[in-house]
Amino acid sequence: MCEENATPKTLLVAAFEGWNDANQAATNVIRHLVSRYESQEVRHIDNEDFYDYQVARPMICSVQGRKRIIWPRTTFYDIAVSPVLHLLAQIAPEPNYRWKEYCTQTLHIAEDYGVNDVITLGAMFDECPHTRPLPLDISKSGCECESDREYNGPVGIPNILDAFASEAGLSTMSMWVSVPHYSANAECMQGTLELLRALSVTIGYPLAEGDLIRKAAQWRAQADELVASTHTGDYLARLERDYDLDAQAKRIASNGMPACEELIREAESFLRDGV
């Protein structure tokens, strides 16, 4: 079917600042898309009852010599990535209050745009090396990733929105990238790049990477300098060894050899404890 005659499709892609956004790796995907494609602000959620202003503080800026207060709020962008594919991109500070009402309002807006698919993006700090591809965990409707099956604990607004969307009968997917905790002072553009690439595969359309490749290389170089200046090379070597052992275990398991995976995990644990 020619693109001109295809039925346009809109997907909701959401990312939230704060606890769910280590080094801004997730929200920078939205900012990147807005800067690279024809985009329009189309909707907002302004209800101040969602925010604690001592946590998500208003910002003051000068516009043409006049002071202006910018209040925390949710912004939705209509991003035209192709003539037949639009992204309804949601970006906001994570709300402090009334998450159920917030998710309900979000889904009402998604319904207005004919959305049937919801994709949430997140980033978390973890013990992983910057010298390897950053770990990605992807869960689809009714099919949890390994980390989701094993996790018990607090969750953020992406998880809640995902659950509400699933209960409403929408197709859902969550994508989380792990960010090295020792790089906490710099935006992780490598994480942004890897989330963008995963999103490209999911929507079946090659999203423009622009200068993300260059910025990701700069981030890796800064991490190299940080490790060298803090003399944490031994720690990085341990993270690399653990990463490689885990990757080897997953390769063997994917070939139908779960017993070997367990043996490798036991060896990994033994080597780690012996450090």
Query: pLDDT per position in the chain (275 positions), as tens?
Result: 445 566 789 999 999 999 999 999 999 999 999 999 999 999 999 888 999 999 888 999 887 788 889 889 999 999 999 999 999 999 999 999 999 999 999 999 999 999 999 999 999 999 999 999 999 999 987 665 565 666 678 899 999 999 999 999 999 999 999 999 998 778 999 999 999 999 999 999 999 999 999 999 999 999 999 999 999 999 999 999 999 998 888 887 777 655 555 655 656 665 566 54
Structural domain contains residue 225: no
Alpha helix ranges (H) inside the chain = 27-36, 99-112, 146-150, 157-167, 189-203, 212-230, 233-254, 258-273
- Does 178 map to a domain? yes
> Is 49 part of any domain?
yes
Based on the fold, state whether residues 33 and 128 are members of the same structural domain.
Answer: yes
The verdict on 96 and 117 lying in the same domain is yes
Q: Based on the structure, what is the number of domains in the chain? A: 2
Q: Where does a domain end: 178, 194, 220? A: 220
Handedness of CA 194, 199, 202, 207 (dihedral sign): negative
Residues 179 and 252 in one domain: no
Q: Are 20 and 89 members of one domain?
A: yes
Are 70 and 206 found together in one domain?
A: yes
Look up the domain containing 136 and give its range. Answer: 3-220
- One domain for residues 120 and 250: no
Do 134 and 267 lie in one domain? The reply is no
In whole angstroms, give the CA distance from residue 69 to residue 205: 38
What's the pLDDT at 271? 59
142 occurs within a structural domain: yes
Residues 76 and 28 in one domain: yes
Residues 248, 188: one domain?
Answer: no
21 and 145: one domain? Answer: yes
Instruction: Please give the pLDDT value at position 251.
Output: 80
Give CA–CA dist 236/220, Å, rounded.
Answer: 13
pLDDT value at position 1?
41
Q: Does one domain contain both 17 and 88?
A: yes
Q: Note whether 210 and 145 are same-domain residues.
A: yes
Place of tokens 């490209």: 200
Which two three-digit tokens encode residue 263?
A: 């043996």
Is residue 226 included in any domain, yes or no?
Answer: no
In a domain, 159, yes or no: yes
